[in-house]
Amino acid sequence: MKPTATTNQPDAAIAVENLTKRYGDTVALDGISFRVQRNELFGIIGPDGGGKTTLFRILTSLLRPGSGRARTYGLDVVTDYKRIRQIIGYMPGRFSLYQDLTVEENLAFFASIFGADVNQNYDLIAPIYDHIKPFAKRRAGDLSGGMKQKLALSCALIHRPKILFLDEPTTGIDAVSRTELWQMLRSLGPKGVTVVVSTPYMDEALLCDRVLLLQDGRILDTDTPEAIIAHFDKHLIAVETEDNKRALRDLRDLDPAFNVQTFGYEIHVSSERALERADIEKFLRGRGYRRVRVDDIVPTIEDCFIELMQKEKEHVS
Amino acid sequence: MSPDHIIFVDGLTKYFGTFCAVDNICFHIKKGEIFGFLGANGAGKTTGIKMLTGLLKPTSGTARVAGFDVFTDSEQIKKNIGYMSQKFSLYDDLTVIENIRFYAGVYGLSRRQIKHKADALIARLGLEHVRHSLTRDLPLGWKQKLAFSIAIIHEPKVVFLDEPTGGVDPITRRQFWEMIFDAARSGITILVTTHYMDEAEYCDRVSIMVDGKIVALGTPRELKEKYGQPDMNRIFLKLARG
């Protein structure tokens, strides 16, 4: 089929239609379709092996689609790959800068490849590059994990791309650096950069304008985090006792149909049928717990993802 | 040192040249305890774990693991602990059963023990249908659960888990932690690192390292009271920047 140059929605930063990719018998992407708007902060949320990296490699023109189409700013990833590479920034999951160049040499190198000027675009990277500027003369290979990540992001942005792809930028990164990175990502949309970022951390989904939940190559949902939470259709309570590890088993005894999961210092119980807080509390007291708190709660994005994953599994099997 | 203390660390210090990676840390971990060893990237966690697993000689201080001294008995330590991390777990080009047999053999189990343990482990994890599949073809979550089971196949007194759940889906991550709970209940002591602060809440006690020092140590509840924060995530953000 001959690709056409027209797009029916010229505003889309990304338009993916029925995209499929197989590796032998493994289906990495199974006919997915979605759009990303310009200047949007778009999250691709899902576990390892869900298809995130394959999708990134196709969108950045590094891998050909099996079937279906993908366009970035109206450019086809197969036929217009040269032009796509000029307007994107890509930060792969694995650190891929030159370890034996210094921090500032790496930055200058990436700018020169794109014919960009470091000073002219410095405003875009200042919020993160300022953290590593004191180490400008240090070799990239000698930086800590968090600093490497900041340098990689600076290098991916220094040519002021229209769209920035980040594949799991926060995996293995501590909670402080994660927070800083996300502050930075949120500042890019207003400066005219569309951001597509993947992560296995569910809490980071809340920081995106919209998210796509990807599992086993299929889209579980695409929406704003608020809408995904609003679509949660089960009853949900949070339980806290002095011994949550034991309470986990007791709550599963109470009703095998309950979905009982640990959530930090709480246990979340979801169910098709209404959950009476008083009944749960009485049950736990009866089992000898002294400190029992039971609250109705609004689901987190992680509750929603777990729910959608389980639905998908039932659907498949 | 109380006989209940499976890990005993006093004044443990490691210098690389003039750089102090681990600075005079002290803690004791009881039998069956789940101890969260937290800190930002570069805070010194990995160096600490390497010393406690007998892979790196400390500069000074004292540490005993499962009754053995890290200075003089590092070979004994290696035989009496389990270890897994996100980066090092299983051999991708061995099958499930081959990985189990290999590690059980390394840990010195007899042929009969290996057969018995392997069958039990495969049944418990529901891996019968992939028994002869290459490990690289398993989903990450299954691999990590298998790796953990193998890390404790020789019933060690202590198991070290270095970011075992990185990148794992939210359901498998919870199943993994329930396996940790079961192991702890059976008396295995757990030292675990994680960047997921909800997982820090599952630990009996946690330590938070900043620039090589332990700046906070206690149960999650004690730390929340002490720092006036509702959850471990906020405590971590407050402390970890140093």
What value does the mean pLDDT take over residues A90-100? 87
Query: Who's near A106: CB < 8 A, 6+ residues apart?
Result: A97, A98, A140, A151, A155
**Cα–Cα dist A171/A169, whole Å:** 6
Residue found under tokens 């992680």? A302
Tell how many helices (H) and how many strands (E) occur in chain B: 9, 10
> CA nearest A216 in B: which residue?
B139
- A-to-B residue pairs, Cβ atoms closer than 8 angstroms: 92
User: How does pLDDT run across B138-166, given as a tens digit for each residue?
Assistant: 888 889 999 999 999 999 999 999 999 88
- Closest approach of chain A CAs to the CA of B69, in angstroms? 30
| Residues of chain B neighbouring A145 (CB-CB closer than 8 A) | 41-42
**Cα–Cα dist A266/B202, whole Å:** 10
**DSSP helix/strand/coil, B239:** helix
Element (H, E) at A194: strand A194-199
More confident residue, A147 or A279: A279
Residue to test with chain B: of A26, A167, A176, most B Cβ within 10 A: A176
Sheet holding A259-263, edge to edge: A259-263, A266-271, A235-241, A292-296
Decide if pLDDT at A4 tops 50.
Answer: no
Query: Who's near A78: CB < 8 A, 6+ residues apart?
Result: A3, A61, A64, A65
pLDDT at residue A9, as a whole number: 52
Per the CB < 8 A criterion, the answer to whether A190 and A222 are in contact is no
pLDDT at residue A194, as a whole number: 98
Residue to test with chain B: of A214, A215, A252, A265, most B Cβ within 10 A: A265
In this complex, do A49 and B168 lie within 8 Å of one another by their Cβ atoms?
Answer: no
| Residues of chain A neighbouring B40 (CB-CB closer than 8 A) | 146, 174-177
In this complex, do A176 and B220 lie within 8 Å of one another by their Cβ atoms?
Answer: no
In this complex, do A47 and B172 lie within 8 Å of one another by their Cβ atoms?
Answer: yes
Query: Nearest Cβ partner of A173 from B41, B86, B202?
Result: B41
Per the CB < 8 A criterion, the answer to whether B189 and B157 are in contact is yes
pLDDT at residue B190, as a whole number: 98
> CA nearest B174 in A: which residue?
A262
Q: Average pLDDT, whole number, for chain A?
A: 91
Decide if pLDDT at A177 tops 90.
Answer: no
Closest CA to A195 of A203, A106, A114, A204: A204
Q: A80: how many CB neighbours lie within 10 A of its CB?
A: 17
- The structure's pTM equals 0.88
User: How does pLDDT run across B120-138, given as a tens digit for each residue?
Assistant: 999 999 999 999 999 988 8
In this complex, do B169 and A215 lie within 8 Å of one another by their Cβ atoms?
Answer: yes
| Residues of chain B neighbouring A310 (CB-CB closer than 8 A) | 171
> CA nearest B34 in A: which residue?
A245
Tell me how many degrees the CA angle A86-A88-A81 measures, rounded to the nearest 5. Answer: 55
User: How does pLDDT run across B10-53, given as a tens digit for each residue?
Assistant: 999 999 999 999 999 999 999 999 999 999 888 999 999 999 99
pLDDT at residue A290, as a whole number: 96
ipTM value: 0.87
Residue to test with chain A: of B47, B89, B135, B195, most A Cβ within 10 A: B195
Residue to test with chain A: of B38, B41, B142, most A Cβ within 10 A: B41
- Closest approach of chain A CAs to the CA of B62, in angstroms? 28
